Every structure is written in structure tokens, then in C-alpha cells.
């Protein structure tokens, strides 16, 4: 029995190590400051209107955020669904938004205030809204990051490259969570 438990622990540990990924993280030796993220389309922890999902025109909602700290060189956005059946699903990644920017209007796909949109998990460049399978409620995290540098990525970059590029460069972060269910 002891050997079986040890074998299970070793297998689980190996799997955890294999699936671990790099996440956006603070600049070494600093604490991440908070950014407050809002949208006129929906309040925190409320349903995302159909306009911003695959059931409607599928445009990005407007987003606003508080000032980023001094020394911020660029802003990045990530929208994902951690409730997706096969693991976290990325709906939008954007980097190199001008640090003076405090909001994006609805439908802000592509060329955003100097920003570059990457490839989402629908294999499209830009925003693709909530579109979960029928069943449980999903939570969509609209994250804003203030970075200490501009990011060097190709436009077709995906989430893994984005997260690696942001690791160790986050000065401030905040998120707005919306829900959606089919």
C-alpha cells in the first residue's frame, strides 16, 4: 500500500511539474501594486452582456482602469476563462498599450493605443468573447498589467509566450471578472 501511495505521489508530482507554466509576475524585489478595472458593460462578478460574446457581435467590452505606477513603460491585457473544460482558455492578449492610456472603448480589437493583439485560443488574432459549452457558469477574467518594459513578441504570439514575456516585469495588476453561461 505504501508503494502504491508513493507511486501515485511521484506520478502526480511529475504531472504537476510538467504542466506548470510561467505566469506574469512582479518585478523581482518589488510588490505588485493594485489597478482597479471597470467596464460600463457589466459590474464586477456579473454576467457579460451577449453583445460581447459569441451570441452577439462578439466585440470586446469597454474597459477602464486606474493610473499605473511611475516607471510603467507599457500596459498589457489578458482575458481568459479558467473554467473551460480542458484548462484555462485565452480569449484575448494585448501588449504594448501606451502607459498613459486609461481606457479602451468597446470593440477595441487590434491596434489599440499602440497595442498589439496576439493569437487567442480560438486561433484568431484579437478578441473572441465568451462562448462556453452548455452547462455550468464560466468566469471571465479581464486582467490589466502595468509593465516596466515594452514587450518584444510577434503578433501571432500565444498565451505561453505572452506570460513568459510578462514574468518578472509586472509593476501593477488588476482584474474585472464577468460571468457567462449557455
Is-contact 179 139, C-beta < 8 A?
Answer: yes
pLDDT of residue 144: 97
The domain limits of the chain are 24-180
CATH number for the segment(s) 24-180: 3.90.280.10
Long-range contacts of 100-105 (CB under 8 A, 24+ apart): 101/75, 102/64, 102/65, 102/66, 102/67, 103/62, 103/63, 103/64, 103/65, 104/60, 104/62, 104/63, 104/77, 105/62
Mean pLDDT, residues 99-126 taken together: 84
Q: Average pLDDT in the 119-127 region? A: 95
Q: What's the confidence (pLDDT) of residue 17?
A: 32
Is pLDDT of 22 > 80? Answer: no
The stretch 161-177 carries a mean pLDDT of 97
Amino acid at each position: 500500500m505504501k508503494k502504491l501511495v508513493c507511486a501515485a505521489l511521484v506520478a502526480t508530482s511529475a504531472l504537476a511539474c510538467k504542466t506548470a507554466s510561467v505566469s506574469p509576475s512582479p518585478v523581482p524585489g518589488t510588490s505588485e501594486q493594485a489597478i482597479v478595472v471597470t467596464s460600463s458593460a457589466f459590474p464586477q462578478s456579473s454576467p457579460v452582456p451577449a453583445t460581447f460574446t459569441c451570441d452577439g457581435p462578439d466585440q470586446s467590452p469597454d474597459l477602464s482602469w486606474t493610473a499605473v505606477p511611475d516607471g510603467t513603460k507599457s500596459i498589457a491585457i489578458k482575458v481568459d476563462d479558467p473554467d473551460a473544460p480542458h484548462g484555462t482558455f485565452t480569449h484575448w492578449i494585448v501588449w504594448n498599450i501606451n502607459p498613459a492610456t486609461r481606457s479602451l472603448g468597446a470593440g477595441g480589437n487590434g491596434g489599440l493605443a499602440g497595442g498589439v493583439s496576439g493569437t487567442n485560443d480560438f486561433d484568431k488574432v484579437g478578441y473572441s468573447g465568451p462562448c462556453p459549452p452548455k452547462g455550468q457558469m464560466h468566469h471571465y477574467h479581464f486582467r490589466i498589467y502595468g509593465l516596466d518594459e515594452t514587450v518584444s513578441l510577434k503578433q501571432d504570439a500565444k498565451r505561453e509566450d505572452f506570460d513568459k514575456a510578462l514574468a518578472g516585469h509586472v509593476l501593477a495588476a488588476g482584474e474585472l471578472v464577468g460571468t457567462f453561461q449557455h
